[in-house]
Chains A and B, each alone.
Chain A
Amino acid sequence: MHVAILGNGITGVSAALRLRELDPDCRITMISGESTHHYSRPALMYVFMGHMRYRDTKPYEDATWRERRIDLVRDWVVGIDTEQRSLRLHRGEPIGFDKLVLATGSKPNRFGWPGQDLPGVQGLYGLLDLKALYDNVEDCRRAVVVGGGLIGIELAEMLLSRGIDVTFLVRERTYWGNVLPAEESAMVNELIRHHGCDLRLGTELAEIHAASNGRVGAISTKDGERIECELVGLTAGVSPNLDVVRDTAIAVGRGILVDPQLRTNIDGVYAAGDCAEIVTGDERSTLQQVWYTGRMQGHHVAASILGDDAPFDSGIWFNSAKFFDLEYQTYGQVHRRIPGEENLYWQHPTELVSFRIVHKDGVVIGFNMMGTRYRHEVCERWIRDGVRVRDVLPRLREAAFDPEFFQPYERAIERAFTEQLS
């Protein structure tokens, strides 16, 4: 059996490695036009800022692929023939397959703003964007970053680290307002400003204007304000990358449509990761565009190919990020506006540290932490076991994960939350 995997990001690689673990005999070919080897996409910001070199972002030594007999092909797939079961490549000869995994990832959104295709306007997703960024920051005095989410704040940090002034347009009233509760979001707003970034909450991009040299020269907001800039970063979310799939018989919606076993409508063709839209019922489907679920879906699709028909289950939600120097972790359901949900929130009086427990009917359903680390395994277990919030408070120590000698916050949190509960 020959399994071809389209895409060498975390999803494609997880699928390839798990497949090789489960089946020592099948032939595996991983195809990517973006890079020769798998690299960590979230690490690109550190390459730009000089923390790491590109080669440091590769999670596996190059010999790993040879050792595990996973063939790598560096080329773009430009056509998928589902009848002939072959892939047409941009440069090389066609590749036949028995099973195909589509792990094409996502693309930065472009919502049709006038001027969005001008030179100097770009998203930030992969190596092509990083290369473009190097070109676009030359002679750049001010950049406008459009879209208040994780990639936007990272791009702002990258640009500020090179001495470029940044104006950050956030459509919501507060940074990442649909994910972060008000208090945590307010912490980040202040942090963004503290780093010298010109933060514009409740501000939307209207148009991008060209300068006399044909490159971007300014933007206008929907309020009519004009801001001069030489670079525009479009970081208003991502959408599944369907470029190569659109002209095929593979069914797509917002993403490549798959069932809970990650199978598309074509027999032997699967999709996983950012590009996959998992249909879980009538009118219900999920897009998961996070590194962690990409990894999990990659593992799952490997099992599915070998006949395991268990439905994909991403388990209890978790995520983490870093806003400049502020670390964030989340477990379970936070800020979901579930009827009956209640919040316990504590913030350190002077340090940038906060902790939140979301509970419903006395039982813990979610955690948020800013500036302090907690054990995933323990938080997940508490949520899964439906531990009562009153029982968790005296046991917070079990989940504490900050380095040794760090000031412990559990007592203060327990005191504050016990008071809030009564």
Chain B
Amino acid sequence: MIEQSVLDHSFDEESVEFGEPAARARREVGPVERLGQVVLAGGVISLVVQIFVGTWAGSWLGFASAYGGMVVGAAVMFVGRYRGTTPGIKHDGVQFDTMTSRGVGGWIAALGLTGLYVALYWAPGLLGHGTGAGGGPGGLVLTVDPLARVLTGGAASQWFLYGTLYCLAMVVFGVRMLMKYRHNRYQKIRTVSVVVAQVGFAFVLANVLVLFQLPYYEFNGVWPLKYDTLWPEKVSALWAADAPHGAFGVFLVFWTAVVAVLGVPVLTYFYGKRWYCSWVCGCGGLAETLGDGYRQLSDKSTRAWKIERWLIHSVLVLVVLATAALWLEWPGAHGFKKAYGFVIGAAFSGVVGVGFYPLMGSRVWCRFGCPQAAILGLLQRYASRFRITTNGSQCMSCGNCSTYCEMGIDVRAYAQQGKNIVRASCVGCGVCSAVCPRGVLKLENGKGAGDRYSGADAPLAQFLEDLREPPRP
């Protein structure tokens, strides 16, 4: 006695999917958001004029009007967009929006970002490097020259441009994160931390060192992520530097070693790898701010997980080999070094790492390549107190947690069984916990490492077992 309309149901939900409902979502652009858009547009116009016409290019007026306009305009726009809404998760339409669902907008953004990175590394003239008066900066690079002169005491290069754009993007999208997650203190504090770490320690301080004729150094970068910090060329340059910065150079070498050898395992033991990956790291910082809109694009399949495990640890092996080869002066070491720098340092972590945000999510490098993440991940899985606890019985398997996990962890698979999530790739961004509609997930530093999952009390045995198959729940 089933109704005929039910029997006639032949909609194939798997191949057709549902898509966007016809009724248009009414979102009025408020006056604050509108003001932000206008100021942003003004900033963009100023930038375009500077690049193609030359007026104000290289002047503070140009810098302030373009970058001030874009940053202030975008920040005000984001404030206006979220201000009138009730505090809470704001993911309506994410799967419909062309920018965040691999639509045309996303592809254009990906091409633009990838193009920018390709230019930075291999065609900096396109960005204006060396195209100005007397071989100095021109084009886009010239527009940040005033800031370069203040911070570094010298002319801007494409790398200074890169650093400037990177930090401004993090600030603007950091404001967006603060507004979007204004009901969630963990997200707010973490966002501020990662923006300060990058803007303060990896940009302003790093460049100001140069102003004082000290070596450029990003304090939130560590070997093996910043692989050259422990390579002979850089180390001997720092170590053997003449006064007045000889002592400082030695300090930097020790800083690198202490952080890598002592700081990393200790901090990871207490807090999990999130202390670095989503609170300090520059790559992570951009991923958590600019990349927030792309979290759902990460691949959650077991197949991706299997690829990830092999790929990320292979890169770790490569960087260790490259470092050893250079120190021990093996034949071919310099060729190896150049290849590593090109393939891993530039193409993978830069071009693919950021360029592919709108296609594969914000953590492609972090998940599939970063050797630092590999080390931190091994520590997190086998020798750390960190876990994501689950209120398992309250889980109704909706899938929000897995969908919004930027690292492609199938969080739901653990939550629906009431099991802790202790995965090497988890960066502790906390978004799974934030989007869960039933309060099932909580990031925690426990009282010990052995109680997190069955087998955690015998980490070496567990490691050997995990080698064979990914430890699915």
Give residues in A with beta carbon < 8 Å to B: 10, 33-37, 39-40, 42-43, 46-59, 61, 76, 78, 90, 127-128, 130-131, 133-134, 137-140, 159, 161-164, 194-195, 243-244, 246-247, 291-292, 318, 320-322, 324-325, 327, 329, 373-377, 401-407
Contacts and interface: CB of A to CB of B under 8 A. Distances in A.
Given A40-B399, A407-B185, A55 B17 contact: yes
Contacts of A134: 18, 21-22
B454 to A, nearest CB: 16
A56 B300 CA distance: 10
A355 to B, nearest CB: 13
B186 A405 contact: yes
Interface string B116-155: 0000000000000000000000000000000000000000
Interface of B: 1-3, 5-7, 9, 11-14, 17-18, 20-26, 86-89, 91-97, 183-186, 189, 296, 301-302, 389, 391-394, 396-400, 402-403, 412-413, 416, 430, 433-435, 437-439, 442-444
B399 A59 contact: yes
A109 to B, nearest CB: 15
A333 B246 CA distance: 71
B1 A50 contact: no
Given A55-B14, A134-B22, A42 B398 contact: yes
Nearest to A406: B185
Contacts of B301: 61
B6 A76 contact: yes
Given A59-B399, A59-B416, A403-B186, A243 B17 contact: no
Contacts of B183: 325
B21 A48 contact: yes
A34 B97 CA distance: 28
A36 B14 contact: yes
Contacts of B302: 61
Contact of B9 (A54, A128, A377): A128
B439 A140 contact: no
Nearest to A49: B92
A50 B94 contact: yes
B185 A51 contact: no
A104 to B, nearest CB: 10
Contacts of B17: 53-55
Given A42-B396, A48-B18, A50-B91, 9 more contacts: A40-B399, A47-B18, A61-B301, A130-B18, A134-B21, A325-B86, A327-B438, A373-B442, A377-B391
B94 A401 contact: no
10 contacts: A36-B13, A43-B397, A46-B400, A57-B397, A161-B25, A162-B25, A195-B86, A320-B438, A324-B86, A327-B438
A331 to B, nearest CB: 10
Contact of A327 (B1, B184, B430, B437): B437
A7 B92 CA distance: 30
A137 B19 CA distance: 13
Given A243-B2, A247-B1, A137 B22 contact: yes
A220 to B, nearest CB: 24
Contacts of A36: 12-14
A137 B21 contact: yes
Contact of A403 (B5, B23, B430): B430
Contact of A163 (B24, B86, B95, B433): B24
Contact of B397 (A34, A40, A373, A375): A40
Given A40-B398, A163-B24, A163-B25, A90 B92 contact: no
B13 A127 contact: yes
Contact of B2 (A39, A49, A244, A405): A244
A327 B91 CA distance: 16
Given A49-B92, A243-B1, A401 B6 contact: no
B23 A128 contact: no
A56 B397 contact: no
A401 B437 contact: no
Contact of B402 (A54, A56, A163): A56
Contacts of A37: 14
A59 B13 contact: no
Shortest 6 CB-CB distances between A and B: which pairs?
Answer: A325-B88, A163-B26, A373-B439, A43-B398, A162-B23, A59-B397
Nearest to B444: A404
Nearest to B26: A163
Nearest to A78: B2
A290 to B, nearest CB: 9
B394 A320 contact: yes
Nearest to A13: B397
A401 B398 contact: no
Given A40-B398, A43-B398, A56-B402, A163 B437 contact: no
B343 to A, nearest CB: 32
Nearest to B398: A43
B92 A50 contact: yes
B6 to A, nearest CB: 6
Interface centre among A36, A51, A195 (most CB of B within 10 A): A51
Contact of B95 (A50, A159, A246, A325): A50
A137 B24 CA distance: 10
Contacts of B13: 35-36, 39, 54, 127
A139 B22 CA distance: 8
B191 to A, nearest CB: 12
B21 A51 contact: no
A48 B91 CA distance: 12
Contact of A128 (B6, B26, B93, B438): B6
B439 A51 contact: no
A51 B195 CA distance: 27
Contacts of A163: 23-26
Nearest to B17: A54
B188 to A, nearest CB: 8
Nearest to A296: B393
Contacts of A318: 393-394
B182 to A, nearest CB: 12
Contact of B23 (A39, A56, A164, A322): A164
A275 to B, nearest CB: 14
Contacts of A194: 86
Contact of B396 (A35, A58, A131, A291): A291
Contact of B412 (A59, A329, A403, A406): A59
A167 to B, nearest CB: 16
A301 to B, nearest CB: 18
A373 B437 CA distance: 11
A404 B403 contact: no
Nearest to B27: A163
